[in-house]
Amino acid sequence: MSKRTVYTDYFFDEPAYNTHDGGFIPLEEPKTPQEPLRIPELLKPDEETSTDMYYTVIAQPGEVQLLPGAKTKTWGFNAPFLGKTILFKNGKTIHITLKNELPELTTFHWHGLNVPGPITDGGCHAPVYPGESTQIEFKCHQPAATLWLHAHPCPATAEHVWKGLATEVLVTDDVEAKLPFPRNFGVDDIPVILQDRHFHKDNQLDYIADYDPDGVQGPTPVINGTVNPYFDVTTQRLRLRLLDGANRREWRLHFSDDLKFTQIASDGGILPEPVDFTHLMLTCAERAEIIVDFKGHKPGDVVTLYCDDVPVMHFRIHEFAADNTELPDHLVDIPDPEVTAGAPVHKVVMSGMDEEVMMNGKKFDMQRIDDRQQVGHVEYWDISNTNDMSNGMVHPYHMHGTQFRVVSRNGHAPYPNENGLKDTVGVNPGETVRLKVWFEHLGVYMNHCHIIEHEDGGMMAQFEVYDPENPKTYQLMDMTTLMNAFAKERGVAVKDLYIPGMDM
Question: Three-state secondary structure along 479-497?
Answer: HHHHHHHHHHHHCCCHHHC
Integer CA distances (angstroms), 485 to 57, 162, 368, 489, in order: 22, 20, 21, 6
Return d(Cα 500, Cα 341) in angstroms, integer. Answer: 43
**Percent of the chain, pLDDT > 90?**
97
Indicate if 346-471 has the same CATH topology as 189-317. yes
Q: How confident is the model at residue 503 (pLDDT cuts 50, 70, 90)?
A: low
251-266 pLDDT, tens digit per residue, is 999 999 999 999 999 9
450-467: average pLDDT: 97
139-164: average pLDDT: 97
Residue type, 500: P
Return d(Cα 221, Cα 30) in angstroms, integer. Answer: 8
Instruction: Assess whether pLDDT exceeds 90 at residue 230.
Output: yes
**Is 40-177 in CATH node 2.60.40.420?**
yes
Instruction: Assess whether pLDDT exceeds 60 at residue 1.
Output: no
Return d(Cα 503, Cα 155) in angstroms, integer. Answer: 9
To the nearest 10°, report the CA torsion of 427, 4, 242, 216: -30
Residue 309, class by beta-carbon neighbours within 10 Å (0-12 exposed, 13-18 middle, 19+ buried)? Answer: exposed
At residue 389, the pLDDT reads 83
C-alpha angle with apex 195: 230 to 349, nearest 5 degrees?
A: 145
390-411: average pLDDT: 96
H helical segments located in 109-222: 157-163, 174-177, 207-210
Return the CA Rg of the chain. Answer: 21
Residue 24, class by beta-carbon neighbours within 10 Å (0-12 exposed, 13-18 middle, 19+ buried)? Answer: middle
From 244, 312, 240, select the one nearest 283 (Cα to Cα).
244
Q: How confident is the model at residue 3 (pLDDT cuts 50, 70, 90)?
A: confident
Angular region, 69: left φ>0, alpha ψ -120 to 50, beta rest: left
From 242, 255, 262, 234, select the one nearest 323 (Cα to Cα).
234
326-362 pLDDT, tens digit per residue, is 999 999 999 999 999 999 999 999 999 999 999 999 9
Domain ranges of the chain: 40-177, 189-317, 346-471
Instruction: Assess whether pLDDT exceeds 50 at residue 493.
Output: yes
142-167: average pLDDT: 97
226-227 and 220-223 as β-strands: parallel, antiparallel, unpaired?
antiparallel
Q: How confident is the model at residue 2 (pLDDT cuts 50, 70, 90)?
A: low
Return d(Cα 66, Cα 229) in angstroms, integer. Answer: 11
Query: Which is it for the CA torsion 246, 249, 255, 258, positive or negative?
Result: positive
* pTM (2 d.p.): 0.97
At residue 502, the pLDDT reads 73
Collect all residues with Cβ–Cβ distance below 8 Å to 458 and sequence separation of at least 6.
357, 358, 359, 362, 363, 364, 501, 504
425-443: average pLDDT: 98
- Which CATH superfamily groups domain 346-471? Cupredoxins -  blue copper proteins (2.60.40.420)
Q: Which helix (H) or strand (E) holds 227?
A: strand 226-227
Q: How confident is the model at residue 504 (pLDDT cuts 50, 70, 90)?
A: low
Lowest-confidence pick of 21-25, 53-57, 241-245? 21-25
Collect all residues with Cβ–Cβ distance below 8 Å to 278 and sequence separation of at least 6.
6, 7, 8, 254, 255, 258, 259, 260, 261
Computed over every residue of the chain, the mean pLDDT equals 97
Q: How confident is the model at residue 391 (pLDDT cuts 50, 70, 90)?
A: confident
At residue 331, the pLDDT reads 98
Please, which residues bridge with residue 101 across strands?
Answer: none
Return d(Cα 126, Cα 108) in angstroms, integer. Answer: 8
Instruction: Assess whether pLDDT exceeds 50 at residue 188.
Output: yes
Pick the CATH number of 189-317 from 1.20.1250.20, 3.30.470.10, 2.60.40.420, 2.40.50.100: 2.60.40.420
45-81 pLDDT, tens digit per residue, is 999 999 999 999 999 999 999 999 999 999 999 999 9
